[in-house]
Structure 1
Amino acid sequence: MSAEVPRIPPLSTEEQVGEAAALLGVHTGGGAVLRHQGEHPPLNALTTLVRNPDLYRVLVPQVRHLANGSLPARDRELALLRVAARVPCPYEWAQHCPAAREAGVTDDEIARVALAQPDDRWDEHERTLLTAVDQMLAGSDMADDTWERLSARYSDSELIEFVVLVGEYQKLALLLNTLRTPIDPWLLSG
């Protein structure tokens, strides 16, 4: 995907003026979803989405909320990597590998997230989490036994957040893949 020409390219630095600059300025500092900013320009995902300011105003705060939500960071990043691997979405994978490392996921575990089936090296909760993602992506639902196992660890609020997280990142994968959003160069080196 990264070698393909974007269908809708990210705004160039010169194009980031007016309303786009204001929106990007609001969402470029702090927060887990934007952790790679700092010395880097705004993410290509953001500078593409800002071409539709109304959707940007709705989607970016929701993604930011999920990136800083109540789920443990390690669980969140494992789920997001699983979505990126299963959809697949190279952009999400590249963005969330560094985030997963920050959340304590090892390089070996990152590689294992992409395996067809969660193996026995995961603990029971993490196998359940990865299986839940697979089930939701495959059938827009989760098996009752998987739900029960997640319910043993998560509150009702966290269960809702988990389902929204998986759905939101599946939607983002569809957007990023279809628009052929190029992976940010600094993500390729990390």
Structure 2
Amino acid sequence: MARLPGTEGDGEIADRVRARRGGSLHPLDRMLLHSPPVADGWNSLLGAVRERMSLPADLRELVILRIAVLNRAPYEWAAHEPEARRAGASGPQLAEVRKEKPEFEGRLARVIAYTDAMTRDVQVPDPVFDALRADFDETGLAELTATVAVYNMVSRFLVALDIQP
């Protein structure tokens, strides 16, 4: 049971959240709407990360799922596993991302190493960051970093308030 009751989600801000979500509010939204200014900013930020960046959707979703695993956020996993599958993530990739030490190759291995470093340690060793330079331009590096940072925020909100799927 979540630590706060969900809100009904009335008003202009709730309507903007519904519009981004395709017409309904999720349990996360109902918690965020306890503070409409936070919900409004969150909605705008997550809309940018989810809908307006050039980071490939399959990478974005695997990063989000990795963060869900590392931060023990089952709601985040439940919300994003279907998105990952729609974006082309395979069953074996989903199983691998759940492991303590996933064994990916190439770009995905470097992205997961970066995600792990940002999530577990906050500070990223230079070799981990520098390895990504072959895979991403400056925009891509900024977008990957923003995605990891934002979904760590999401998972920490979910876990702290015990929001379950």
Q: So what's the TM-score if we normalise by structure 2?
A: 0.92
* CA deviation after TM superposition for structure 1 residue 16, in Å: 3.2
Q: Give me the whole-angstrom Cα distance separating, in 1, the residues matched to 2:66 and 2:39.
A: 25
> Once the two structures are superposed, what CA deviation does each residue of 1:89-138 show, in whole Å capped at 9, x if it has no partner?
1111111101100110012211110111121xx33110111111111112
> Could you tell me which residue of structure 2 aligns to residue 25 of structure 1?
15
* CA deviation after TM superposition for structure 1 residue 10, in Å: 1.7
* Correspondences of 1:1-190 after superposition (within 5 Å): 5-11=1-7, 15-17=8-10, 19=11, 22-30=12-20, 34=21, 37=22, 41-68=24-51, 69-119=53-103, 122-183=104-165
Q: Give me the whole-angstrom Cα distance separating, in 2, the residues matched to 1:115 and 1:86.
A: 10
> Once the two structures are superposed, what CA deviation does each residue of 1:140-186 show, in whole Å capped at 9, x if it has no partner?
12222221221111111221121121111111111111111232xxx
Q: Give me the whole-angstrom Cα distance separating, in 2, the residues matched to 1:72 and 1:179.
A: 30
- Which contiguous aligned blocks of 4+ residues in structure 1 show a shift greater than 6 angstroms? none
Secondary structure (helix, strand or coil) at the match of 2:2 reads coil
Task: Indicate conservation of the 8 Å contact 2:74/2:164, yes or no.
Answer: no
Task: Indicate conservation of the 8 Å contact 1:91/1:176, yes or no.
Answer: yes
Q: Give me the whole-angstrom Cα distance separating, in 2, the residues matched to 1:106 and 1:9.
A: 36
Task: Indicate conservation of the 8 Å contact 1:118/1:131, yes or no.
Answer: no
> Which amino acid is 1:16 matched to?
G
Q: Give me the whole-angstrom Cα distance separating, in 2, the residues matched to 1:85 and 1:179.
A: 17
Gaps of 5+ in 2: none
> Once the two structures are superposed, what CA deviation does each residue of 1:68-107 show, in whole Å capped at 9, x if it has no partner?
2110111111111110001111111111101100110012
RMSD of the alignment, in Å? 1.5
Q: So what's the TM-score if we normalise by structure 1?
A: 0.80
Gaps of 5+ in 1: 184-190
> Which amino acid is 2:2 matched to?
P
Secondary structure (helix, strand or coil) at the match of 2:25 reads coil
Task: Indicate conservation of the 8 Å contact 1:9/1:181, yes or no.
Answer: no
> Which amino acid is 1:165 matched to?
T
| Percentage identity across paired residues of the two chains | 25
* CA deviation after TM superposition for structure 1 residue 24, in Å: 2.3
